[in-house]
Chains A and B, each alone.
Chain A
Amino acid sequence: MNEQDSPATTEELTRRRWFLRLGEMAALAGFSGLVPEIAAGLLGSEQQPAGLPPGLHTPSSPHLIQALTTHANPPGTEAQVNASSLRPEFFSEEEFQIVTRLVEIALGKSNAGALSQTTQWLDLWFHSAAEVREAAQHLDPLHRALAVAYYGEQSVRELETVDVQTVAREGVAALRQRSLQDHGRGFLELSIEQQVELLSSKSATEPASPLQKFVEITRRETIRGYYTSAEGLRELNYKGNAYHLSCPGCEVTQGRKH
């Protein structure tokens, strides 16, 4: 086809271009056999930190090389900005301490980093819940039908109807009240044995009670948060997927039996 005039040359960042760039950097950073230092050397002038704001970044070489060769967050990335300035967005300081205690009880012994990532996830999840619910309630009917097809009616209805922020507030209040009634002290002032006993009591396990609902959701999201954290994945000994180098059990290779 003959172009009658020149095509646009605007340097627009597209998803495809981003992935292409990522692939290029991945190849340089080791998948092709180059050691990271050599790969970084090849990048020359692009090594200076880009100083970009949080959010979607231009696929700059320093960010990509660093992401592929170290576990540290490069300067300016969203993770680094968030980690340095985190304050709970949904929970009050006191509520967040209670949630942190619940996570500690659920997980048992864990390091501070994993605990912090898990509690951050819980705060983010509860904080986002109102907007998620509102978005779910305003889905186009066709999009809702698609969501039901993918996730099931029950899951979609739960997103639309369950006010998990209220569940959290009422759950924490119920926990405080139960602690005061049973022990005359706040939950955080109890011994760990008393805390565990309270969480195993009938009031905390009675189906559909405010405390039971809160504890259940908190436990569920603790599991999700912990086992998707770097520490949790290490504990599971998860190393990712890899393709087969041969075809086990298959007698035919490139059209010929062997």
Chain B
Amino acid sequence: MDRSGRAEGVHYIDRVNHEQRDSYARAVVVAAGALESTRILLNSQSSSHPQGVGNSEGALGRYLMDHFTIEGAGGFIPSLRSSKREPVGRPCGFLIPKYVNVGDSRDGNSKFLRGYRFDGDGSQELYGHAFMMPEFGDAWRERVRSEIPFYFAIEAQGECLPRWDNHVRLDPTRKDAWGIPVLHINASYGENEKAMAAAMRENITAILDEMKLAEMTPPKAELSIFGKNIHECGTARMGNDPKKSVVDRNCKVHDARNVFVTDGAVFVTQGCYEPTLTIMAISARAGEHIAETFRRGEL
């Protein structure tokens, strides 16, 4: 980084032969995934950016998010037990879009902010039912073939609120194979997520009851562990105020003239759906902006 806040390029280590190299460019786009992008920025320390690029105000690494799920619910569909194997499996799940806290107050829930959606599937068991049949021998194998149950499974995925406390920072002691500091991750779900989880469990249980499933397994009591959904977002959030955010509306880092972040790191909130399409849309917009500013000679 030069004194004017312009990145000259990148310094990197060849993964195969471990040679250190430099590449130079008019613009630098960081798109290594939410956590790795932020790690690169935190490790990009210089006299002009002693805390890393994008971290002049200490916002870099903050507001980490990841969806949580309520899992494990399901049961057998009694009316579908069959002796006939489906010719081929046709993987086909379902998705029930978010309806809670959307527009109409009829589906509102004041116990928490934001909402959740459901997904799941129904499938013919392959051999899992064999464990439940206590017999053995030829007759038992015949039952495994002739009494194939269908299992229905459902889970709910909820939005994680962006909180300052959920953050990543450089680990002061641990480094990767190339001697570069790794991230220390400090994150947990808060009261809003726990209140939302209670409603998710209630909804799932109502669905299972309505379906009158056999050998029903209720939804798990606990939330999935933070990070399990691998929809990590945030830590280099977008915003107009350089004191409260890391990148601007075009994904340009506030305190660098030509450094951009184009992945889930820039998310301010993450909704309850998968982040990929939004990342693609944001990246396309940033790309158009970079091309336009390049044409204007501003890069």
Which residues of A pack against B, CB within 8 Å?
1-5, 7-8, 10, 12, 105-109, 145-146, 148-150, 219-220, 223, 227, 232, 235-244
Contact = CB atoms under 8 A, between A and B. Distances in A.
B126 A244 contact: no
A1 B29 CA distance: 10
B138 to A, nearest CB: 4
A223 B24 contact: no
B63 to A, nearest CB: 21
In the complex, the 7 A-B pairs of residues with the closest C-beta atoms, listed nearest first: A108-B138, A149-B225, A227-B127, A241-B89, A108-B137, A237-B85, A1-B25
Contact of A227 (B90, B126, B225): B126
B228 A146 contact: yes
B127 A107 contact: no
A227 B16 CA distance: 42
A242 B225 contact: no
A241 B141 contact: no
B4 interface: no
Given A227-B126, A239-B87, A241-B90, A4 B136 contact: no
A2 B24 contact: yes
A8 B227 CA distance: 34
B23 A12 contact: no
Contacts of A3: 23
Contacts of B138: 108-109
Contact of B23 (A1, A106, A145, A227): A1
A244 B212 CA distance: 28
A68 B46 CA distance: 54
Contacts of B85: 236-238
B17 interface: yes
Contacts of B225: 145-146, 148-149
B17 A8 contact: yes
Interface string B91-135: 110000000000000000000000000000000001100110000
Contacts of A12: 16
B222 to A, nearest CB: 9
Contact of A2 (B25, B131, B224): B25
Interface of B: 9-10, 14-17, 19, 21-25, 85, 87-92, 126-127, 130-131, 136-141, 144-145, 224-225, 227-228
B90 A244 contact: yes
Contacts of B14: 7-8
A241 B16 CA distance: 38
Q: Which of B16, B22, B136 has the most CB of A within 10 A?
A: B136
A106 B91 contact: no
Contacts of A242: 88-90
A219 B10 CA distance: 58
Nearest to A10: B16
Contact of A108 (B9, B19, B136): B136
Given A146-B225, A223-B131, A236-B126, A4 B22 contact: yes
Nearest to B22: A4
Given A2-B24, A4-B21, A10-B16, A235 B130 contact: no
A244 B16 CA distance: 41
A4 B25 CA distance: 11
Given A235-B145, A242-B90, A150 B140 contact: no
B89 A240 contact: yes
A227 B9 CA distance: 56
18 contacts: A1-B10, A2-B24, A4-B23, A5-B21, A7-B14, A8-B15, A8-B17, A12-B16, A105-B136, A108-B141, A149-B225, A220-B131, A227-B144, A236-B127, A236-B144, A236-B145, A240-B88, A241-B89
Contact of B126 (A4, A107, A109, A238): A238
A149 B228 contact: yes
Contacts of A236: 85, 126-127, 144-145
Residue among A1, A105, A220, A243 with max Cβ neighbours from chain B (10 Å):
A1
A223 B130 contact: yes
Contact of B137 (A8, A106, A239): A106
Given A4-B21, A109-B138, A227-B127, A244 B92 contact: yes
A12 B90 CA distance: 37
Given A5-B21, A10-B16, 8 more contacts: A1-B23, A4-B24, A108-B139, A223-B130, A236-B85, A239-B89, A241-B91, A242-B90
A236 B144 CA distance: 8
Contact of B141 (A5, A107, A238): A107
